[in-house]
Amino acid sequence: MVQISVILPVYNGVSTITDTINSVLGQTFQEFELIVIDDGSTDDTVSVIETIKDDRLRIHQFENAGQGESRNRGAALAQGEYLSFIDADDLWTPDKLESQWQALQTHPQAAVAYSWTDHIDENNQFFRAGPHLTFSGDVYKKLIISDFVGSGSNVLIRKAAFDEVGGFAPHLTPAEDWDLWVRLAARYEFVVVPQVHILYRTLTTSSSFNLAKMEASSVQVMERIFAQAPPELQGLSQLCRGHRYKYLTYKALDLTPQRQRARAAFRFLALALWYDLSLWRRRVIWKVLLRATIAVVFPRTWVISLLKQQPKPFDIEALLFHIRFEV
């Protein structure tokens, strides 16, 4: 009997798809189906998937429509009472589904279970820890302030709740995860499983993260949030925008430094400081300014060498941890 439907959208994921699928098929919880949505891949992704023989695995091919639509397509095909999504380059620990399913059995009033996330590199090696927060129950206000869930590979959702709120909004990619969590939290409780179950892949040699697209979709999500939020939560707008621009600042300067992305970081930081005045008191802003400045002024190879030799003065991790959830 299928209890959980796992949805795996993939587009040209030949290099990681086998590891991702194996991390799903290796779950201790066995009553699931794995629905792979091929989003118009042009490489050998489908051929690779077809070499994996497991009765729980089904492949459906569509023309390219993006991740949000692919997730919705998978959900429409799902037979399970619960839905979980995993991106084609992420991994799960073996007890992910079992732990989250048990959490929802223990907390029948909750519609969403989430766990903690850590980051891995191209070689599946630990890269850095994610934020390990423990919010449960009514988390609507906290999710307005900031997306603490972290990624679409995290949650287990009751399918009835997913259907009721309308699923993912494909036009909001890549911020469609946050939009869905907020809409779910407006109606349902969440429950945390305080263990690392999601291994989010960070490509340490790449800067493919589309800053312009993420900023545009984030702005749209924030507009939707406050168009629907009750009057008593409208005052969170400044804080919400401040935190989002901190995140964008971090992403602009994370990993491989590039001159154009560093220039964007100056603008993002200015907006973060405008919206969140408390950030002026944080020493990390000087590290942000230093990291952005060297990326703009000096050759990239020199910057990479400097960051390897002297990482501490340029460490901007603290930018992500200065998030005030209590106001």
Confidence at residue 321, expressed as pLDDT on a 0 to 100 scale: 77
Q: Return d(Cα 220, Cα 310) in angstroms, integer.
A: 38
As beta bridge partners, residue 57 has 34
Per-residue confidence band for 208, with pLDDT thresholds at 50, 70 and 90:
low
CATH architecture, domain 4-201: Alpha-Beta Complex (3.90)
For 269-291, what is the mean pLDDT?
Answer: 94
- Provide the H-helix boundaries in the chain: 17-25, 45-50, 67-77, 96-106, 140-145, 159-165, 176-185, 211-228, 237-253, 259-275, 284-297, 300-309, 318-321
Q: Which comes out higher in pLDDT, residue 105 or 319? A: 105
Q: Return d(Cα 4, Cα 30) in angstroms, integer.
A: 9
| Residues present in the chain in total | 327
pLDDT tens for each residue of 14-68 = 999 999 999 999 999 999 999 999 999 999 999 999 999 999 999 999 999 999 9
Per-residue confidence band for 97, with pLDDT thresholds at 50, 70 and 90:
very high
Would you kindly state where each structural domain of the chain is located, as residue ranges? 4-201, 217-321
Confidence at residue 14, expressed as pLDDT on a 0 to 100 scale: 95
pLDDT tens for each residue of 221-236 = 999 999 999 999 999 9
pLDDT tens for each residue of 69-89 = 999 999 999 999 999 999 999
Confidence at residue 122, expressed as pLDDT on a 0 to 100 scale: 86
Per-residue confidence band for 267, with pLDDT thresholds at 50, 70 and 90:
very high
DSSP assignment of 234-278 equals: GGGHHHHHHHHHHHHHHHHHSSS--HHHHHHHHHHHHHHHHH-GG
Query: For all residues of the chain together, what is the average pLDDT?
Result: 94
194 by DSSP, 3-state: which?
Answer: strand
